[in-house]
């Protein structure tokens, strides 16, 4: 979310459109939480596919993150001939931890003054990035399930990445195969540790982004034959996925297993379609959609999206406090996110440049799109 400065090997600007996609995702997350907790939320909007689908929105973040992190690893490998695991983990820590633990520090103060209560188990999973084990214990820290999944993925992925091209691809394909099997298992045998907000349901979303980064050139070669056709086809199919559930419930199609394993709005099919839309948005389309994603307002919301995601949970809680009343809560989300970004995130983002290796050889050019790479996590 920030351009790297200096002459390190990862000196680039950004992939266009990614912040715009992040902006759409965080807006959907907020709308979904308002629809869940705000009694006055318009009923007709609840019926609009995907607009109130927070699970889908988080998967968009996951796919973007997998694509971006893998692209960075490939770029570092190409310029340095090796990956620095130490620097990767330090950069990742600097990117994610400060703003998150600042949020938890504020929660601790609010708890001390009696404004909220978090159980000991909730504090434990929040502090250790294992929140997907008990995400439903409280609202305030529940959203950390997604951060836990991301951090666990990025503990493993660089290790497999350094073992060579064959091993890294085998790892990704294994994740893409095994996770839908977990979802299918949950259809037949419901257990508490396998549900839609756990690593066993959602690990493959990040892996999908990694897959599209690993095979970027080949996939782009196919999409480039007709960017618009593939883009609108992906959008159309994505909008049809919620219809499957409706038809299944209304007409007894008996495709529950298909929907659970690969056909939901946060399943395998949706992830692949999101990745296609991502590539079309970044490398292909240059019209109205591209201009919208890269407009100043969408760009800024995307830059602030991590801070917005962290703080929106506090202000969308159904607690009846003034800070939770719509539309004032939107203002509080905005103020808290800006403070978090400019006083916590941004200073630490500058620190990341100290952990980028010096350049060893000339960088390979990106495809002829005029676009460059954004070196940060989702």
Confirm whether 192 is domain-assigned.
yes
246 against 151, higher pLDDT: 151
pTM of the model: 0.90
- Cross-strand partners of 8: 358
The answer to which of 10-24, 155-169, 296-310 has the lowest mean pLDDT is: 10-24
* Domain of 214, in residue numbers: 18-355
Confirm whether 208 is domain-assigned.
yes
- pLDDT tens figures, 35-91: 999 878 888 888 888 999 999 999 999 999 999 999 999 999 999 989 999 999 999
User: Which one, of 70, 69, 67, 55, lies nearest residue 277 by Cα?
Assistant: 67
- pLDDT tens figures, 365-376: 444 333 333 333
Confirm whether 297 is domain-assigned.
yes
Confirm whether 160 is domain-assigned.
yes
The answer for residues whose C-beta is within 8 angstroms of residue 221's C-beta and 6 or more apart is none
Q: Distance (Å, rounded) from C-alpha 129 to C-alpha 142?
A: 11
Count: domains in the chain:
1
Phi, psi at residue 8, to the nearest 5°?
A: -80, 170
Measured from the Cβ of residue 361, the count of other Cβ atoms closer than 10 Å reads: 10
DSSP string, 109-157: HHHHTTS----HHHHHHHHTT-GGGSGGG-STTTTHHHHHHHHHHHHHH
How confident is the prediction for the chain on average, in pLDDT?
90
- pLDDT score of 363 more than 80: no
């Amino acid at each position: 979310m920030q351009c790297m400065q200096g002459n390190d090997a990862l000196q680039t600007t950004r992939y266009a459109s990614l912040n715009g996609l992040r902006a759409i995702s965080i807006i959907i997350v907020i709308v979904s939480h308002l629809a869940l907790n705000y009694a006055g939320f318009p009923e007709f909007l609840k019926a609009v596919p995907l607009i109130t689908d927070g699970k889908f929105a988080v998967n968009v973040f996951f796919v973007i993150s997998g694509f971006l992190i893998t692209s960075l690893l490939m770029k570092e490998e190409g310029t340095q001939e090796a990956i620095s695991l130490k620097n990767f983990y330090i950069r990742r820590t600097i990117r994610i931890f400060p703003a998150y633990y600042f949020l938890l520090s504020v929660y601790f103060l609010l708890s001390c003054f009696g404004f909220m209560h978090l159980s000991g188990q909730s504090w434990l999973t929040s502090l250790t990035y294992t929140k997907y084990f008990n995400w439903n214990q409280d609202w305030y820290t529940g959203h950390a399930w997604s951060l836990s999944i991301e951090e666990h993925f990025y503990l493993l992925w660089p290790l497999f990445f350094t073992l060579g091209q064959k091993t890294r691809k085998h790892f990704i394909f294994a994740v893409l195969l095994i996770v839908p099997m977990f979802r299918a298992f949950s259809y037949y045998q419901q257990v508490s540790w396998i549900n839609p907000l756990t690593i066993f349901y959602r690990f493959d979303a990040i892996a999908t982004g990694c897959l599209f980064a690993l095979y970027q050139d080949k996939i782009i070669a196919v999409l480039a034959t007709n960017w618009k056709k593939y883009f609108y086809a992906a959008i159309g199919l994505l909008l049809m996925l919620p219809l499957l559930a409706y038809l299944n419930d209304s007409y007894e199609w008996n495709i529950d297993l298909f929907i659970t394993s690969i056909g939901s709005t946060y399943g395998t099919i949706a992830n692949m379609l999101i990745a296609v839309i991502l590539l079309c948005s970044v490398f292909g389309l240059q019209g109205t959609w591209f201009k919208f994603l890269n407009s100043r307002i969408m760009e800024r919301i995307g830059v602030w999206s991590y801070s917005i995601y962290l703080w929106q949970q506090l202000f969308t809680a159904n607690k009846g406090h003034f800070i939770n009343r719509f539309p004032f809560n939107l203002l509080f989300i905005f103020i808290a996110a800006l403070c978090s970004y400019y006083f916590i995130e941004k200073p630490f983002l500058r620190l990341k440049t100290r952990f980028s290796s010096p350049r060893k050889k000339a960088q390979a050019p990106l495809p002829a799109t005029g676009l460059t790479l954004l070196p940060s996590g989702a």
